[in-house]
Amino acid sequence: MQFGSKIFSTTVATGIGVIIFCLIMAAIGRGMGDTYAIFLLPLSQDLGWDRSNIASIYAVYIAAMGIFSPLSGYLFDRFGGRFIYVFGIVCLGTGYWAAGHLAALWEFYLCLGLLTGLGAALIWQVPGQSLISRWFDKNLGIAIAFVYAGYGFGILILAPVVHLLIDNLGWRLTYQQIGLAFLCLLPLVVLLPWKLIERGAPENPRRTVSGRAQGGYSLGSALRLPVFWVMFIIYFLTAFAIFGVSIQSVAYLVELGFGELEAAGAFGLAGVLSFAGMFITGVAAEKFGRSLVATISYSLTILGVLGLAFLQLVPIKGLVFLWVIPYGLSMGARGPIIATLMAKLFSGRGLGAIYGMTMMGQGLGAGMSAWCGGLIYDFTGGYNFMFCISIVSAIICIALFWFSSEIRFGYLKIKEP
Protein backbone atom coordinates (compact mmCIF):
# COMPACT_ATOMS: atom_id res chain seq x y z
CA MET A 1 0.00 0.00 0.00
CA GLN A 2 2.78 2.38 0.93
CA PHE A 3 4.70 1.48 -2.23
CA GLY A 4 1.61 2.09 -4.36
CA SER A 5 0.96 5.40 -2.65
CA LYS A 6 4.54 6.45 -3.29
CA ILE A 7 4.21 5.66 -6.99
CA PHE A 8 0.94 7.59 -7.14
CA SER A 9 2.40 10.66 -5.44
CA THR A 10 5.48 10.59 -7.68
CA THR A 11 3.29 10.29 -10.78
CA VAL A 12 1.08 13.20 -9.73
CA ALA A 13 4.08 15.38 -8.86
CA THR A 14 5.79 14.61 -12.16
CA GLY A 15 2.59 15.25 -14.12
CA ILE A 16 2.15 18.64 -12.45
CA GLY A 17 5.80 19.41 -13.14
CA VAL A 18 5.31 18.61 -16.84
CA ILE A 19 2.32 20.99 -16.95
CA ILE A 20 4.34 23.79 -15.33
CA PHE A 21 7.27 23.25 -17.70
CA CYS A 22 5.04 23.25 -20.79
CA LEU A 23 3.22 26.35 -19.50
CA ILE A 24 6.52 28.22 -19.12
CA MET A 25 7.62 27.16 -22.60
CA ALA A 26 4.30 28.39 -23.99
CA ALA A 27 4.76 31.71 -22.18
CA ILE A 28 8.19 32.42 -23.62
CA GLY A 29 7.73 30.71 -26.98
CA ARG A 30 4.35 32.14 -27.89
CA GLY A 31 3.61 34.90 -25.39
CA MET A 32 6.79 36.76 -26.27
CA GLY A 33 5.95 36.62 -29.96
CA ASP A 34 2.69 38.49 -29.46
CA THR A 35 4.37 41.34 -27.58
CA TYR A 36 5.34 42.45 -31.09
CA ALA A 37 2.16 44.55 -30.96
CA ILE A 38 3.99 46.72 -28.39
CA PHE A 39 7.12 46.93 -30.56
CA LEU A 40 5.12 47.91 -33.67
CA LEU A 41 4.99 51.70 -33.14
CA PRO A 42 8.60 52.09 -31.86
CA LEU A 43 9.87 50.10 -34.84
CA SER A 44 7.75 52.11 -37.27
CA GLN A 45 8.86 55.45 -35.82
CA ASP A 46 12.54 54.52 -35.64
CA LEU A 47 12.88 52.79 -39.01
CA GLY A 48 10.37 54.90 -40.95
CA TRP A 49 8.77 51.94 -42.70
CA ASP A 50 5.16 51.53 -43.87
CA ARG A 51 2.77 49.72 -41.57
CA SER A 52 2.52 46.80 -43.99
CA ASN A 53 6.31 46.31 -43.86
CA ILE A 54 6.35 46.40 -40.06
CA ALA A 55 3.38 44.03 -39.83
CA SER A 56 4.95 41.70 -42.39
CA ILE A 57 7.77 40.89 -39.94
CA TYR A 58 5.21 39.48 -37.51
CA ALA A 59 3.48 37.78 -40.45
CA VAL A 60 6.72 35.95 -41.31
CA TYR A 61 7.15 34.96 -37.65
CA ILE A 62 3.66 33.55 -37.20
CA ALA A 63 3.68 31.86 -40.62
CA ALA A 64 7.09 30.32 -39.90
CA MET A 65 5.79 29.01 -36.59
CA GLY A 66 3.01 27.22 -38.45
CA ILE A 67 5.11 26.02 -41.37
CA PHE A 68 7.77 24.59 -39.04
CA SER A 69 5.20 22.89 -36.79
CA PRO A 70 5.23 19.62 -38.80
CA LEU A 71 9.02 19.63 -38.49
CA SER A 72 8.62 20.17 -34.75
CA GLY A 73 6.31 17.17 -34.54
CA TYR A 74 8.67 15.00 -36.57
CA LEU A 75 11.72 15.98 -34.50
CA PHE A 76 9.86 15.36 -31.25
CA ASP A 77 8.64 11.93 -32.40
CA ARG A 78 12.13 11.08 -33.70
CA PHE A 79 14.59 12.62 -31.21
CA GLY A 80 12.60 13.42 -28.09
CA GLY A 81 12.13 16.37 -25.77
CA ARG A 82 15.65 17.35 -24.73
CA PHE A 83 16.78 17.85 -28.32
CA ILE A 84 13.76 19.81 -29.48
CA TYR A 85 13.49 22.14 -26.48
CA VAL A 86 17.21 22.95 -26.47
CA PHE A 87 17.14 23.58 -30.22
CA GLY A 88 14.06 25.78 -29.84
CA ILE A 89 15.46 27.93 -27.03
CA VAL A 90 18.69 28.45 -28.97
CA CYS A 91 16.67 29.66 -31.97
CA LEU A 92 14.53 31.99 -29.84
CA GLY A 93 17.39 33.44 -27.83
CA THR A 94 19.59 33.96 -30.88
CA GLY A 95 16.77 35.46 -32.93
CA TYR A 96 15.72 38.00 -30.31
CA TRP A 97 19.30 38.93 -29.44
CA ALA A 98 20.13 39.46 -33.13
CA ALA A 99 16.99 41.58 -33.61
CA GLY A 100 18.59 44.35 -31.58
CA HIS A 101 21.38 44.68 -34.16
CA LEU A 102 19.38 44.73 -37.40
CA ALA A 103 18.71 47.46 -39.97
CA ALA A 104 17.41 45.93 -43.23
CA LEU A 105 13.94 44.44 -43.67
CA TRP A 106 15.28 41.11 -44.93
CA GLU A 107 17.38 40.82 -41.76
CA PHE A 108 14.24 41.22 -39.65
CA TYR A 109 12.51 38.58 -41.77
CA LEU A 110 15.40 36.18 -41.16
CA CYS A 111 16.00 36.71 -37.43
CA LEU A 112 12.79 38.09 -35.93
CA GLY A 113 10.63 36.19 -38.41
CA LEU A 114 12.03 32.82 -39.46
CA LEU A 115 14.39 32.09 -36.56
CA THR A 116 12.05 33.02 -33.72
CA GLY A 117 9.14 31.39 -35.58
CA LEU A 118 11.13 28.16 -35.75
CA GLY A 119 11.99 28.46 -32.06
CA ALA A 120 8.37 29.00 -31.07
CA ALA A 121 7.27 26.00 -33.15
CA LEU A 122 9.85 23.81 -31.45
CA ILE A 123 8.90 24.58 -27.84
CA TRP A 124 5.21 25.49 -27.83
CA GLN A 125 2.09 23.58 -28.83
CA VAL A 126 3.31 20.50 -30.65
CA PRO A 127 5.77 19.01 -28.13
CA GLY A 128 3.78 20.32 -25.17
CA GLN A 129 0.55 18.71 -26.32
CA SER A 130 2.37 15.44 -27.05
CA LEU A 131 3.98 15.32 -23.60
CA ILE A 132 0.79 16.24 -21.75
CA SER A 133 -1.19 13.53 -23.55
CA ARG A 134 1.17 10.90 -22.06
CA TRP A 135 0.58 12.07 -18.49
CA PHE A 136 -3.15 12.75 -18.49
CA ASP A 137 -6.06 10.71 -19.80
CA LYS A 138 -9.29 11.40 -17.90
CA ASN A 139 -8.43 15.07 -17.32
CA LEU A 140 -6.57 15.57 -20.59
CA GLY A 141 -8.70 18.55 -21.66
CA ILE A 142 -8.04 20.38 -18.39
CA ALA A 143 -4.30 19.67 -18.56
CA ILE A 144 -4.00 20.90 -22.15
CA ALA A 145 -6.05 23.98 -21.24
CA PHE A 146 -3.48 24.82 -18.56
CA VAL A 147 -0.67 24.60 -21.12
CA TYR A 148 -2.52 26.73 -23.65
CA ALA A 149 -3.15 29.27 -20.91
CA GLY A 150 0.62 29.73 -20.82
CA TYR A 151 0.19 31.83 -23.96
CA GLY A 152 -1.99 34.30 -22.06
CA PHE A 153 0.26 34.02 -19.01
CA GLY A 154 3.22 35.01 -21.20
CA ILE A 155 1.43 38.12 -22.46
CA LEU A 156 0.36 38.96 -18.90
CA ILE A 157 3.94 38.86 -17.61
CA LEU A 158 5.90 39.97 -20.65
CA ALA A 159 3.72 42.82 -22.01
CA PRO A 160 4.35 45.24 -19.09
CA VAL A 161 7.99 44.14 -18.85
CA VAL A 162 8.53 44.78 -22.56
CA HIS A 163 6.82 48.18 -22.40
CA LEU A 164 8.95 49.18 -19.39
CA LEU A 165 12.16 48.03 -21.07
CA ILE A 166 11.36 49.85 -24.32
CA ASP A 167 10.66 53.07 -22.40
CA ASN A 168 13.97 52.85 -20.54
CA LEU A 169 16.32 51.05 -22.95
CA GLY A 170 14.78 51.37 -26.40
CA TRP A 171 13.56 48.51 -28.56
CA ARG A 172 17.03 47.35 -29.63
CA LEU A 173 18.42 46.78 -26.14
CA THR A 174 15.10 45.27 -25.10
CA TYR A 175 15.37 42.57 -27.75
CA GLN A 176 19.00 41.93 -26.82
CA GLN A 177 18.24 41.54 -23.11
CA ILE A 178 15.30 39.22 -23.76
CA GLY A 179 17.38 37.06 -26.08
CA LEU A 180 20.13 36.66 -23.49
CA ALA A 181 17.57 35.86 -20.78
CA PHE A 182 16.14 33.06 -22.90
CA LEU A 183 19.59 31.59 -23.56
CA CYS A 184 20.20 31.46 -19.80
CA LEU A 185 17.43 28.83 -19.58
CA LEU A 186 19.48 26.29 -21.55
CA PRO A 187 21.30 24.61 -18.61
CA LEU A 188 18.01 24.06 -16.77
CA VAL A 189 16.38 22.45 -19.80
CA VAL A 190 19.37 20.20 -20.51
CA LEU A 191 19.44 18.86 -16.93
CA LEU A 192 15.76 17.87 -16.74
CA PRO A 193 15.03 14.09 -16.31
CA TRP A 194 13.83 13.62 -19.87
CA LYS A 195 13.52 9.82 -19.80
CA LEU A 196 10.99 10.11 -16.98
CA ILE A 197 9.20 13.08 -18.57
CA GLU A 198 8.82 11.37 -21.95
CA ARG A 199 7.64 8.03 -20.55
CA GLY A 200 4.29 9.23 -19.17
CA ALA A 201 2.01 8.06 -16.36
CA PRO A 202 1.94 4.27 -15.71
CA GLU A 203 -1.84 3.97 -16.16
CA ASN A 204 -2.05 6.19 -19.26
CA PRO A 205 -2.88 4.32 -22.51
CA ARG A 206 -0.64 6.78 -24.39
CA ARG A 207 2.32 5.98 -22.11
CA THR A 208 5.55 4.82 -23.77
CA VAL A 209 8.30 2.59 -22.45
CA SER A 210 11.15 3.97 -24.52
CA GLY A 211 9.94 7.58 -24.68
CA ARG A 212 8.87 7.01 -28.29
CA ALA A 213 5.19 6.38 -29.06
CA GLN A 214 4.13 3.28 -31.01
CA GLY A 215 1.05 2.35 -33.07
CA GLY A 216 -1.81 4.60 -34.06
CA TYR A 217 -2.15 6.84 -37.09
CA SER A 218 0.81 8.00 -39.13
CA LEU A 219 0.80 11.46 -40.69
CA GLY A 220 0.13 9.97 -44.11
CA SER A 221 -2.93 8.05 -42.96
CA ALA A 222 -4.30 11.05 -41.06
CA LEU A 223 -4.00 13.24 -44.16
CA ARG A 224 -6.50 10.98 -45.92
CA LEU A 225 -9.21 11.69 -43.34
CA PRO A 226 -11.69 14.56 -43.97
CA VAL A 227 -11.76 15.48 -40.26
CA PHE A 228 -8.05 16.32 -40.40
CA TRP A 229 -8.69 18.92 -43.09
CA VAL A 230 -11.68 20.31 -41.22
CA MET A 231 -9.36 20.89 -38.24
CA PHE A 232 -6.75 22.41 -40.54
CA ILE A 233 -9.29 24.88 -41.96
CA ILE A 234 -10.60 25.71 -38.48
CA TYR A 235 -7.09 26.57 -37.33
CA PHE A 236 -6.49 28.65 -40.47
CA LEU A 237 -9.70 30.68 -40.23
CA THR A 238 -9.50 31.09 -36.45
CA ALA A 239 -6.05 32.60 -36.85
CA PHE A 240 -7.37 34.84 -39.61
CA ALA A 241 -10.12 36.03 -37.28
CA ILE A 242 -7.71 36.86 -34.45
CA PHE A 243 -4.28 37.96 -35.60
CA GLY A 244 -5.08 40.54 -38.25
CA VAL A 245 -6.84 42.52 -35.53
CA SER A 246 -4.69 41.79 -32.47
CA ILE A 247 -1.33 42.76 -33.98
CA GLN A 248 -2.71 46.18 -34.99
CA SER A 249 -4.71 46.76 -31.80
CA VAL A 250 -2.14 48.80 -29.84
CA ALA A 251 -1.41 51.11 -32.79
CA TYR A 252 -5.15 51.41 -33.48
CA LEU A 253 -5.89 52.51 -29.92
CA VAL A 254 -3.03 55.03 -29.94
CA GLU A 255 -4.43 56.54 -33.14
CA LEU A 256 -7.80 56.91 -31.41
CA GLY A 257 -6.21 59.00 -28.66
CA PHE A 258 -5.15 56.41 -26.09
CA GLY A 259 -1.74 56.80 -24.50
CA GLU A 260 0.87 54.21 -25.44
CA LEU A 261 0.89 52.85 -21.88
CA GLU A 262 -2.92 52.67 -21.86
CA ALA A 263 -2.99 50.87 -25.21
CA ALA A 264 -0.30 48.42 -24.13
CA GLY A 265 -2.16 47.91 -20.85
CA ALA A 266 -5.39 47.09 -22.69
CA PHE A 267 -3.51 44.58 -24.83
CA GLY A 268 -1.92 43.08 -21.72
CA LEU A 269 -5.32 42.80 -20.03
CA ALA A 270 -6.63 40.94 -23.06
CA GLY A 271 -3.71 38.56 -22.54
CA VAL A 272 -4.70 38.12 -18.89
CA LEU A 273 -8.23 37.25 -19.91
CA SER A 274 -6.98 34.83 -22.57
CA PHE A 275 -5.25 32.95 -19.74
CA ALA A 276 -8.66 32.46 -18.10
CA GLY A 277 -10.50 31.98 -21.39
CA MET A 278 -8.32 29.13 -22.61
CA PHE A 279 -8.61 27.29 -19.31
CA ILE A 280 -12.38 27.80 -18.97
CA THR A 281 -13.00 26.80 -22.58
CA GLY A 282 -10.90 23.65 -22.30
CA VAL A 283 -12.77 22.52 -19.19
CA ALA A 284 -16.23 23.53 -20.46
CA ALA A 285 -15.75 21.72 -23.78
CA GLU A 286 -15.29 18.43 -21.92
CA LYS A 287 -18.50 18.98 -19.95
CA PHE A 288 -20.88 20.77 -22.31
CA GLY A 289 -19.65 19.71 -25.75
CA ARG A 290 -17.07 21.09 -28.16
CA SER A 291 -19.41 22.62 -30.71
CA LEU A 292 -21.51 24.56 -28.21
CA VAL A 293 -18.51 25.93 -26.32
CA ALA A 294 -16.71 26.82 -29.57
CA THR A 295 -19.81 28.67 -30.78
CA ILE A 296 -19.89 30.76 -27.60
CA SER A 297 -16.16 31.45 -27.91
CA TYR A 298 -16.36 32.57 -31.54
CA SER A 299 -19.35 34.75 -30.65
CA LEU A 300 -17.15 36.48 -28.08
CA THR A 301 -14.54 37.09 -30.79
CA ILE A 302 -17.20 38.71 -32.98
CA LEU A 303 -18.44 40.88 -30.10
CA GLY A 304 -14.88 41.95 -29.34
CA VAL A 305 -14.20 42.99 -32.94
CA LEU A 306 -17.47 44.94 -33.02
CA GLY A 307 -16.51 46.61 -29.74
CA LEU A 308 -13.14 47.63 -31.14
CA ALA A 309 -14.78 49.05 -34.26
CA PHE A 310 -17.35 50.92 -32.12
CA LEU A 311 -14.54 52.90 -30.47
CA GLN A 312 -14.14 54.81 -33.74
CA LEU A 313 -17.63 56.22 -33.26
CA VAL A 314 -17.40 56.80 -29.51
CA PRO A 315 -13.70 57.02 -28.54
CA ILE A 316 -14.34 56.94 -24.79
CA LYS A 317 -11.48 55.18 -23.03
CA GLY A 318 -13.73 53.24 -20.67
CA LEU A 319 -15.43 51.59 -23.63
CA VAL A 320 -12.19 49.78 -24.52
CA PHE A 321 -13.52 46.98 -22.31
CA LEU A 322 -16.10 46.27 -25.02
CA TRP A 323 -13.12 44.89 -26.92
CA VAL A 324 -10.82 43.70 -24.15
CA ILE A 325 -13.24 41.45 -22.26
CA PRO A 326 -14.91 39.39 -25.02
CA TYR A 327 -11.88 39.39 -27.32
CA GLY A 328 -9.47 38.52 -24.52
CA LEU A 329 -11.63 35.65 -23.28
CA SER A 330 -11.68 34.17 -26.78
CA MET A 331 -8.00 34.60 -27.77
CA GLY A 332 -6.51 31.14 -28.21
CA ALA A 333 -9.56 29.55 -26.58
CA ARG A 334 -10.30 27.15 -29.43
CA GLY A 335 -6.82 25.64 -29.27
CA PRO A 336 -7.41 23.40 -26.23
CA ILE A 337 -10.59 22.03 -27.81
CA ILE A 338 -8.88 20.86 -31.00
CA ALA A 339 -5.65 19.78 -29.25
CA THR A 340 -7.55 17.57 -26.80
CA LEU A 341 -9.61 16.05 -29.60
CA MET A 342 -6.53 15.32 -31.69
CA ALA A 343 -4.77 13.65 -28.75
CA LYS A 344 -7.75 11.32 -28.40
CA LEU A 345 -8.27 10.62 -32.10
CA PHE A 346 -4.66 10.33 -33.27
CA SER A 347 -2.71 9.10 -30.23
CA GLY A 348 0.34 7.06 -31.17
CA ARG A 349 3.48 7.28 -33.22
CA GLY A 350 2.38 10.12 -35.47
CA LEU A 351 0.63 12.46 -33.04
CA GLY A 352 3.37 15.09 -33.00
CA ALA A 353 3.64 15.25 -36.78
CA ILE A 354 -0.15 15.20 -37.24
CA TYR A 355 -0.69 17.99 -34.77
CA GLY A 356 2.20 19.92 -36.26
CA MET A 357 0.61 19.74 -39.70
CA THR A 358 -2.65 21.24 -38.43
CA MET A 359 -0.63 23.97 -36.76
CA MET A 360 0.68 24.87 -40.20
CA GLY A 361 -2.88 25.99 -40.92
CA GLN A 362 -2.80 28.31 -37.94
CA GLY A 363 0.55 29.75 -38.94
CA LEU A 364 -0.50 30.39 -42.52
CA GLY A 365 -3.76 31.99 -41.43
CA ALA A 366 -2.10 34.16 -38.81
CA GLY A 367 0.70 35.23 -41.13
CA MET A 368 -1.65 36.12 -43.97
CA SER A 369 -4.03 38.03 -41.69
CA ALA A 370 -1.23 39.99 -40.00
CA TRP A 371 0.17 41.01 -43.39
CA CYS A 372 -3.30 41.77 -44.78
CA GLY A 373 -4.07 43.97 -41.77
CA GLY A 374 -1.02 46.11 -42.45
CA LEU A 375 -1.70 46.21 -46.19
CA ILE A 376 -5.34 47.18 -45.66
CA TYR A 377 -4.23 50.01 -43.37
CA ASP A 378 -1.75 51.32 -45.96
CA PHE A 379 -4.37 51.28 -48.72
CA THR A 380 -7.43 52.48 -46.80
CA GLY A 381 -5.97 54.33 -43.82
CA GLY A 382 -8.19 52.28 -41.51
CA TYR A 383 -9.10 48.85 -40.23
CA ASN A 384 -12.80 48.37 -41.03
CA PHE A 385 -12.30 45.90 -43.88
CA MET A 386 -10.04 43.78 -41.65
CA PHE A 387 -12.72 43.83 -38.97
CA CYS A 388 -15.23 42.47 -41.52
CA ILE A 389 -12.86 39.69 -42.61
CA SER A 390 -12.34 38.72 -38.97
CA ILE A 391 -16.07 38.43 -38.30
CA VAL A 392 -16.76 36.38 -41.45
CA SER A 393 -13.90 33.99 -40.60
CA ALA A 394 -15.33 33.40 -37.11
CA ILE A 395 -18.80 32.68 -38.51
CA ILE A 396 -17.42 30.06 -40.92
CA CYS A 397 -15.58 28.38 -38.03
CA ILE A 398 -18.82 28.10 -36.05
CA ALA A 399 -20.40 26.29 -39.00
CA LEU A 400 -17.46 23.87 -39.30
CA PHE A 401 -17.66 22.89 -35.63
CA TRP A 402 -21.27 21.80 -36.18
CA PHE A 403 -20.65 20.31 -39.64
CA SER A 404 -18.20 17.58 -38.55
CA SER A 405 -19.65 14.70 -36.52
CA GLU A 406 -16.10 13.64 -35.54
CA ILE A 407 -15.58 17.01 -33.87
CA ARG A 408 -19.02 17.03 -32.26
CA PHE A 409 -18.84 13.50 -30.84
CA GLY A 410 -15.09 12.84 -30.60
CA TYR A 411 -14.72 9.62 -32.59
CA LEU A 412 -13.47 8.60 -36.03
CA LYS A 413 -15.79 6.90 -38.49
CA ILE A 414 -12.78 5.07 -39.95
CA LYS A 415 -10.78 2.75 -37.70
CA GLU A 416 -7.05 3.31 -37.41
CA PRO A 417 -4.90 1.49 -39.95
How far is Cα 386 from Cα 127, in angstroms, rounded to an integer? 32
- SS3 call for 410: coil
Q: What are the pLDDT digits (tens) for 99-127?
A: 999 889 999 999 999 999 999 999 987 88
Q: What are the pLDDT digits (tens) for 274-328?
A: 878 888 888 888 788 889 999 999 999 999 999 999 999 988 888 999 999 999 9
Spell out a b/e string for 367-394, using b for 16 or more CB atoms within 10 Å of the CB, else e: bbbbbbbbbbbeeeeebeebbebbbebb
Contact between residue 205 and residue 215 where contact means Cβ atoms under 8 Å apart: no
How far is Cα 303 from Cα 391, in angstroms, rounded to an integer? 9
Task: Give me the pLDDT at residue 120, please.
Answer: 93
Q: What are phi and psi of 415, to 5 degrees?
A: -70, 155
Contact between residue 241 and residue 390 where contact means Cβ atoms under 8 Å apart: yes
Q: What are the pLDDT digits (tens) for 338-365?
A: 888 887 778 766 777 788 888 888 888 8
Task: Give me the pLDDT at residue 279, please.
Answer: 81
Contact between residue 111 and residue 61 where contact means Cβ atoms under 8 Å apart: no
Amino acid (1-letter code) at residue 191: L
Tell me the domains of the chain and their CATH numbers: 2-409 (1.20.1250.20)
